[in-house]
Amino acid sequence: MRPAARKLGRTGRVGVVLLSAGLGVLSPFAVASPALAQTTNAAGSWAVPPPVDMSKLPSDEKKPDKDYQQKTACVQRSTLGNVDINYRPWGQDYLQLPKAQDIVRAKFGNVGGNQKIGVIDTGVTPHPWFGGRVQSGGVDYVAPPTNHADPSLQDCDGHGTEVAGIIAAKPDNPQVGFIGVAPDATIVSYRQLSENYGEKDQSSTGGGSSSQPNNSGQPSGGSSLPPSTSGGGGGGQPGGTNSQQDDKGDQRQLEKGGTAGTLQTLAEIIRNIADRGDIKVVNMSVDHCRAADGTIQDGEQKVQAAVKYAADRDVVVVAAAGNVSDTCPQNDQADANKPRSIVTPPWFADDVLSVGAIDRTGGVASFSVHGPWVGVAAPGTEIVSLDPAEGSTGLANLTISSGSQTSPIQGTSFASPYVAGVAALVRQMFPNLSARQVIQRIEATAQHPAAPGGRDEYVGYGVIDPVAALTANLPGDVGALATPKPMVQQAQLPPGDGQSSTPMIVALAGTGGGVLALLITLFVMHTIRRNRSTAPPSTPSR
């Protein structure tokens, strides 16, 4: 398995971080698929999943579903390719995040301070710029706790820390241009996926025993792990393989051969979060992609039941729409309702807000998987986020493949946390909204594409508009939002000019008196003339 490298910042600069396994999109077809359930969609549209079967909802076993072992050294730091740390990612300005944050801060004094956001991913390293706001979900679904105080707070792959950084990072250096969407929110980490771990190979471990890596990511005995590429600051040796992230974006995939992470444990974690009750937003930058054939797999049914279970319990479920790869073809067929590829969990659009990616131009990113299930879109290219290597205090913005070839971090994996962060702010601003109403508000206030109904299969309802989501008055808001308190409006009359009003009063009084005298005179004259005209004629004297 090949290592990759990441650019990261250290003490005022952005440098490079090394990923031992790279970042992943969807590689479904090369893997043996789980047994298919005998269920098809009666409507004949493969874009619409069959009805939910809640009997498929799994219980949370609170442990990995397979026996995994680490096979590749963890992400390490490097010092290659420094850039200024005051660079602000284009996505922050495109979404007007500073304005949105000012709106929330003015009302609450913080931005997301009372929100917990579940991150189902490769784990989250407690980077200093989280400020201690990272908690463990309490269970690790990749490996049992053996060599780390809390494996869910160890990000061997580097992916989950970058995702969580986009949601809630809060640099303590005012010169740093990067900041998370909800920088006062708390992240609850669930490690569910890893490309650095694989199912234990009994034949190669001498009867089942295997070496366990120590906290540095290097083996502590027994067989050695494949070396990790290092550009300085890490302990591995240069590797010769390519990164699993390329110009098509992040190449991470559930149910991928030789890696850890299945639909089963994804469904279990979603149920775990729903049952907790204190996590109201969850981000899943993990996907499973396969060829569309009119059926639904058993693992997919479990995830479908789990996301409905969570949505019914007031959890906003946000998921990456998925990235194109050689084994996950783009849905570019003429009939959008007959997709070539099915992506889970985005397929279950009734209960999941799936997120496509745009690039700096505002157009849909070439790697973002299309589909009628896409809900909204957000920036997914030229990503900057926290360096995931343990002990790092900087940022990451590049992936380094074989040798020194670099490419920017990109993928729908990194568009999704922008939306999850906005969902947390909407929940803070409008606490009376249900999970589905939060999703409706984000969709209704998005920048709609020029398509029938303001929606298409590329960006869904459009690119999110955080400011509008936090301020717009929408039909149906009365009753759903907090009732506004009536306010007495004080009259704002102009001040007097300071001049005396006596002359005006005298003038008006005189004028009124004159008019009255004139009226009396006219009345008297009229009366006299009338009396003369009605008197009888006098008799002449003889």
Active site positions, annotated: 121, 159, 413
Cβ burial of 247 (10 Å; 0-12, 13-18, 19+) is: exposed
Give the CA radius of gyration of the chain: 34
Total number of residues shown for the chain: 542
- Assess contact for 50 and 308: CB atoms under 8 A: no
Cβ burial of 65 (10 Å; 0-12, 13-18, 19+) is: middle
Task: Take residue 271 and report the two structure tokens written for it.
Answer: 């149920």
CA 24: distance to chain centroid?
19
- Assess contact for 210 and 223: CB atoms under 8 A: yes
Return the half-sphere exposure (C-beta side, CA atoms, 13 A cut-off) of residue 522: 6
Tokens 């792990």 locate to 225
Cα 223 to Cα 72, 139, 298: the distances in Å are 12, 27, 36
- Assess contact for 226 and 218: CB atoms under 8 A: no
Backbone angles phi, psi at 125, to 5 degrees: -75, 130
CA distance 180 to 357: 18
What SS3 state is found at 437?
A: helix
Tokens 């494996």 locate to 151
CA distance 218 to 228: 9
Cα 441 to Cα 278, 357, 378, 472: the distances in Å are 21, 19, 15, 9
CA distance 412 to 415: 5
